């Protein structure tokens, strides 16, 4: 390794999982009892729908009821052998993964451009990227549906590509936001020091900047995947019988029959989100996420 490369390597902060962190010697202030009660009620309120979905998916009865008549894997097996739910689940996985990759790539590049390049109208460009979050999902889906029908040249109507573009509009703002926050919190003098020691711009970015904003990029990718996987409004307007995401398949099922297969599909969706959170925490070396301990 060259002298410049060795110095650049020293600029990279050590992985937080290598040594046990020193405990803070200052005791945290005691939380008032009222705040504890409010926090507990809020936690139960947020967790209760998840518990209801899981128990309903494991219901042994013939109908979607709560509390369940008993516990059984009957409807889980029905989901795994379903000609509707399993293909929809796999389609949502494929769509969510594609959206995550594309959104993370272009969202990261957009965040770097918006945080490091000063130009007239930069605030307007940033607001333009964030604008899809201000629109109701049904309005955005209807606008895309009408646009695809009236501009047949691109052939995006009722296609996977058309749905992918729609999901990118609502996921890229999350990537831009998280990566921009990481970049604003990064000390650029470290990258400048690497440049002054002989590293080219790409080498300095990959060796110094990227490891420091890794958590922001990974968090943005996770947001993109989860938002895409659970997106219903756009799916309602852009899906087809051959391209049906899981949320729309669950909606159609509950319209005509009230069996717990839809809840069993929800169990698999919840499990996917939990697994994604754990993997993200491991990749970014987080010890906790949202108060949930991983190490």
Quick one: pLDDT at residue 29?
A: 66
Helices (H) and strands (E) in the chain, counts: 13, 2
Nearest to 251 by CA among 92, 62, 51: 92
Tell which wins on pLDDT, 292 or 49: 49
Quick one: pLDDT at residue 72?
A: 80
Quick one: pLDDT at residue 203?
A: 85
What's the Rg (C-alpha) of the chain? 23
Domain boundaries, the chain: 32-293
Residue 270 CA to residue 287 CA, distance in Å, equals 21
The full DSSP string for 134-198 is GS-HHHHHHHHHHHHHH-GGG--TTSHHHHHHHHHHHHHHHHHHHHHHHHHTS-HHHHHHHHHTT
Q: Of 93-97, 127-131, 258-262, which gets the smallest average pLDDT?
A: 258-262
Tell which wins on pLDDT, 29 or 255: 255
pLDDT bin (cut points 50, 70, 90) of residue 28 is low
pLDDT bin (cut points 50, 70, 90) of residue 25 is very low
Q: Is the confidence at residue 56, as pLDDT, over 60?
A: yes
Furthest-apart CA atoms within the chain: distance in Å: 71
Mean pLDDT of the chain: 80
Instruction: Give residues with Cβ within 8 angstroms of 102, minimum separation 6.
Output: 164, 168
For the domain made up of 32-293, give the CATH fold. Answer: MetI-like fold (1.10.3720)
Provide φ and ψ at 289, rounded to 5°: -145, 115
């Amino acid at each position: 390794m060259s002298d410049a490369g060795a110095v650049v390597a020293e600029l990279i902060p050590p992985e937080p999982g290598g040594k046990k962190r020193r405990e803070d010697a200052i005791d945290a202030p005691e939380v008032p009892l009222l705040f504890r009660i409010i926090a507990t009620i809020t936690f139960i309120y947020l967790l209760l729908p998840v518990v209801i979905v899981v128990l309903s998916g494991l219901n042994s009865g013939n109908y979607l009821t709560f509390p369940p008549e008993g516990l059984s894997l009957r409807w889980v097996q029905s989901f795994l052998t379903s000609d509707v739910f399993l293909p929809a689940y796999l389609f949502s996985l494929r769509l969510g993964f594609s959206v995550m990759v594309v959104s993370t790539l272009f969202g990261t590049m957009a965040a770097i451009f918006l945080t490091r390049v000063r130009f007239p109208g930069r605030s307007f460009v940033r607001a333009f990227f964030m604008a899809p979050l201000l629109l109701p999902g049904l309005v955005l889906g209807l606008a895309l549906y009408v646009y695809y029908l009236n501009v047949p040249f691109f052939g995006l109507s009722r296609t996977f590509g058309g749905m992918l573009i729609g999901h990118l509009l609502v996921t890229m703002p999350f990537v831009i936001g998280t990566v921009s926050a990481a970049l604003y919190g990064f000390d650029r003098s470290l990258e400048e020091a690497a440049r002054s020691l002989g590293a080219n711009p790409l080498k300095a970015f990959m060796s110094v900047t990227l490891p420091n904003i890794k958590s922001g990029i990974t968090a943005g990718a996770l947001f993109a995947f989860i938002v895409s996987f659970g997106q219903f409004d756009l799916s309602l307007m852009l899906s087809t019988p051959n391209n049906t995401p899981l949320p729309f398949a669950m909606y159609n099922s509950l319209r005509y029959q009230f069996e717990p297969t839809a809840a069993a599909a929800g169990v698999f969706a919840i499990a996917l989100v939990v697994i994604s959170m754990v993997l993200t925490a491991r990749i970014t070396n987080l010890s906790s996420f949202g108060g949930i301990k991983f190490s």
